[in-house]
Structure 1
């Protein structure tokens, strides 16, 4: 029987929509239309990923709930609402793997921009000011990557290539990780922070990681260190970050994600020296939408053929625990 699929969108459709429509009885819904179209659907594709519309439209009768929800993103926190998490018949999948290389390149670019003060150079160019000055090397500097999933691992490999020393922070301490070498747990975190020139956040947002970078973590960071966040904005206590940046203890930050997006115009982060603000675009490179759509199409084929889905999320943990080998 052909499945009834609802694709949640904001005006931009998946580039492979015709291929999707060949496999499923497909309807398209805006956030406003979703409450009428979601009940009774077999599957939902959240093509517009950062939304609470699914939670707000979820049917009270479990018999009308879709059996599969896929999100065109790595993060799934807007979908971890009780009715979905608590229903064992609902499978949640994400787009883990699509963004890894792009975000790793972005992190390298941010670190270079901070070390070489490219924002200052561009500002001097804008003012037609000739100001020679020294910059910093990144070779030999230490990067602590907080989050040992696929994105964190891609970041670690990228930074090692350019000569940085890399360690990680994860749930379990170990000394022989293939990408990080040493992985610290929370018990040894203070030691790791004290030796890191750059702290890169690539962890998922869960109940355990929300506001994990609080005043104690910021105070434990090496004086003159910099924070790079390509994970989720809510990983960081932004008020405390502003305070530690303002007093000069930290040299700067590069932030692609924020607790509130878009970042409010009144936020002091916009104008702070040494801070780079970007609009949640670290993974958005040429062709990224096609990659997201192709991953969903592959999963739709798998579901139609009764094969295991890629990127099944552990709904209690909030992330994919193991990467499933990709096979044709």
Structure 2
């Protein structure tokens, strides 16, 4: 909802920050010490996007100092999350095993999107939901 040049302003006033962004060279570690320090003390962070969008060392620091009060994490830089990760021991972290998108009608919806894309491709019309390789998503 916010362009990256407005990110500091957005996180500074948010009680909850939900990440739903692709992992690209521009979004790699986008959420770092700088962004976390701009957040209101005690902000909740939910990451449902890609693990690499968050600098995990910076997030651990922010969770330990209370800048981020709680984190719900469905994705990590390395998956599955290793048993040695400190995230497992943190009382202010909820970990889910990369299943946030596991919804009952997922397969039907995915197949419907695929069928529409295939029809567009075969008909020579503009393909919707096209991945732009330059953007990375």
User: TM-score with structure 2 length normalisation?
Assistant: 0.90
Of residues 117, 121, 128 in structure 2, which corresponds to 1:299? Answer: 117
- C-alpha change, 1:292 and 1:196, in structure 2 (3 Å) is same
Which residue of structure 2 aligns with residue 242 of structure 1?
Answer: 60
Task: State the secondary structure of the residue aligned to 1:212.
Answer: coil
Structure 1's unaligned 5+ residue stretches are 1-147, 149-168, 171-184, 320-328
Matched, 1:288 2:106: yes
- C-alpha change, 1:297 and 1:272, in structure 2 (3 Å) is same
Matched, 1:313 2:105: no
Task: State the secondary structure of the residue aligned to 1:248.
Answer: coil
**Distance (Å, rounded) in 2 between the aligned partners of 1:189 and 1:306:** 38
- Compute the displacement of 1:191 (Å): 3.2
Which residue of structure 2 aligns with residue 279 of structure 1?
Answer: 97
**Distance (Å, rounded) in 1 between the aligned partners of 2:123 and 2:22:** 31
Does the 8 Å CA contact 2:36/2:67 hold for their aligned counterparts? no
Of residues 208, 228, 238 in structure 1, which corresponds to 2:46? Answer: 228
Of residues 14, 26, 38 in structure 2, which corresponds to 1:196? Answer: 14
Which residue of structure 2 aligns with residue 70 of structure 1?
Answer: none
Does the 8 Å CA contact 2:31/2:54 hold for their aligned counterparts? yes
Of residues 84, 87, 107 in structure 2, which corresponds to 1:266? Answer: 84
Task: State the secondary structure of the residue aligned to 2:94.
Answer: strand
**Distance (Å, rounded) in 2 between the aligned partners of 1:295 and 1:193:** 33
- Compute the displacement of 1:200 (Å): 1.3
- C-alpha change, 1:293 and 1:222, in structure 2 (3 Å) is same
Does the 8 Å CA contact 2:45/2:71 hold for their aligned counterparts? yes
**Distance (Å, rounded) in 2 between the aligned partners of 1:305 and 1:244:** 51
Which residue of structure 2 aligns with residue 214 of structure 1?
Answer: 32
**Structure with the greater relative contact order (CA < 8 A, sep ≥ 6): 1 or 2?**
2
Q: CA RMSD in A?
A: 1.6
1:226-258 deviation per Cα after TM superposition (whole angstroms, max 9, x unaligned) = 111111110000011112212233211011111
**Distance (Å, rounded) in 1 between the aligned partners of 2:19 and 2:28:** 12
User: TM-score with structure 1 length normalisation?
Assistant: 0.40
Of the two, which has the highest radius of gyration?
1
Structure 2's unaligned 5+ residue stretches are none
Task: State the secondary structure of the residue aligned to 2:128.
Answer: coil
- C-alpha change, 1:194 and 1:306, in structure 2 (3 Å) is closer
1:274-313 deviation per Cα after TM superposition (whole angstroms, max 9, x unaligned) = 2111111112111211211221122222323333222112
Number of positions where the alignment pairs a residue of Structure 1 with one of Structure 2: 137
Task: State the secondary structure of the residue aligned to 1:227.
Answer: strand
